[in-house]
Amino acid sequence: MKIQGKAYQTIWLKEDNPEIVQIIDQRALPHQFIIEDIHSCEQMGVAIKDMHLRGAPCIGAAAAYGMYLAALEAPENDFANYLQQKGDYLNQTRPTAVDLANTIRAISKKLVACKTKKEAIKICLTYAIEACVESVEHCRLIGVHGLEIIKKLYAAKPNEPVNILTHCNAGWMACVDYGTATSPIYAAHDAGIPVHVWVDETRPRNQGARITAFELLNHGVPHTVIPDNVGGHLMQHQQVDMVIVGSDRTTRTGDVANKIGTYLKALAAKDNKVPFYVALPHSSFDWSIRDGIKEIPIEKRGANEVSYIQGKAKDGSIQQVLLTPENSPALNYAFDVTPAHLVTGIITERGVCAANEAAILGLFPEYS
């Protein structure tokens, strides 16, 4: 997608030095646009954990490039052990987003028969490049399929904008490109369908207010940032035609882990008969589990993310200010689970299906 007319993806190899990976440092958005050079696997792990980049498919891509950097720095005579350790290190940086674990597992499998460090470098780099190309195509296809849903909603209220509520940032910054939840929105906007997006601010890290709003603004999509608590009220007053969110991990039965607060939106949507869609590529499914509430590990992050809030000061600098009383404890669960029965449909690269095992496996029979 474009930023001020220039096309970017979220992660790429540095043009004049392919041993360096470059990323957009999302912590500074929307006020500063910073590109960060990543030189080592260790540095990539910090970038994932401290959310220089974030969002499930983007974390998966970062893990693949992290393994490539690990292969470059591995000792010649012990590269296999080194890569295994680095895979374990990357794996524990963010526990909920399953794209990370899926990526490390897939690369480790490819490395099993690998005989030399040179070969390992090639395997990791090829995987990273191909996975990114595939991720972009899957997100584009999510847009193609999701567009059909938006078209139907528009047909039911022609000449009025379709109001879509989204939570967190499941946009192109959360992926390699296009986004998951935002891909159908961009597709509808580009097809001339008037859409308007309610952007949940998404406390505590404010990915909606900072990143989704930045993306939509750059693409010219009409939107309004709302405090997290507003969605239910808007739904009661027919101001929301559909909800689309992304997912960090979805079970084979259709339970969806996504940014904390997603569950509350799903409850409000159910109560108000607003369709609630989840957009995700197959890389964000966890095919090994059935019960999301019991089995999905929920990341707990530092209390400071709740106690402090970040913004641009009058002098232009980015500052963090204390929001709570100095000694009030704070709790920071990063994700929650929306049970399948609250999900109207799942939008994938292979089409749209109901949130149940039979329907999901109907689209992905190879995981039966």
- Catalytically active residues, by annotation: 248
β strands within 31-140, DSSP E: 35-38
Q: In this chain, which of 183, 258, 338, 344 binds ligand MRU, going by CB under 6 A?
A: 258
Question: Which residues, in sequence order, are CB contacts of 335 under 8 Å at separation 6+?
Answer: 96, 248, 257, 258, 259, 260, 262, 296, 298, 299
Residues 183-242 that bind ligand MRU (CB under 6 A): 207
Q: How far is the CB of 19 from ligand MRU (least distance, A)?
A: 27
Q: How far is the CB of 117 from ligand MRU (least distance, A)?
A: 32
Q: In this chain, which of 219, 259, 265, 282 binds ligand MRU, going by CB under 6 A?
A: 259
**C-beta of 54 vs 86, nearer to ligand MRU:** 54
**C-beta of 196 vs 203, nearer to ligand MRU:** 203
Burial 24-40 (b: 16+ CB within 10 A, else e): bbbbbbbeeeeebebeb
DSSP-derived letter for residue 33 is -
Q: How far is the CB of 107 from ligand MRU (least distance, A)?
A: 20
**C-beta of 57 vs 87, nearer to ligand MRU:** 57
User: Do residues 145 and 347 lie in contact, with contact meaning Cβ atoms separated by under 8 Å?
Assistant: yes
Q: In this chain, which of 170, 256, 347, 360 binds ligand MRU, going by CB under 6 A?
A: 170
- Other CB atoms closer than 10 Å to residue 241's CB: what's the count? 22
Contact region for ligand MRU (CB under 6 A) — 6-14, 81-89, 156-164, 175-183?
A: 175-183
User: Do residues 365 and 293 lie in contact, with contact meaning Cβ atoms separated by under 8 Å?
Assistant: no
Task: Taking each helix axis as running N to C, give the angle between helix 117-156 and helix 98-111, from 0 to 180 degrees, rounded to the nearest 10.
Answer: 150
Q: How far is the CB of 358 from ligand MRU (least distance, A)?
A: 24
**C-beta of 117 vs 259, nearer to ligand MRU:** 259
What is the distance between the alpha carbons of residues 207 and 201, in angstroms, rounded to a whole number? Answer: 7
Residues 27-56 that bind ligand MRU (CB under 6 A): 54-56
Residues 313-352 that bind ligand MRU (CB under 6 A): 334
Number of residues that bind ligand MRU (CB under 6 A): 18
Residues 60-119 that bind ligand MRU (CB under 6 A): 97
What is the distance between the alpha carbons of residues 104 and 333, in angstroms, rounded to a whole number? Answer: 24
Burial (Cβ within 10 Å: 0-12, 13-18, ≥19) of residue 90: buried
Binding site for ligand MRU (CB under 6 A): 54-57, 97, 168, 170, 174-175, 179-180, 207, 246-248, 258-259, 334
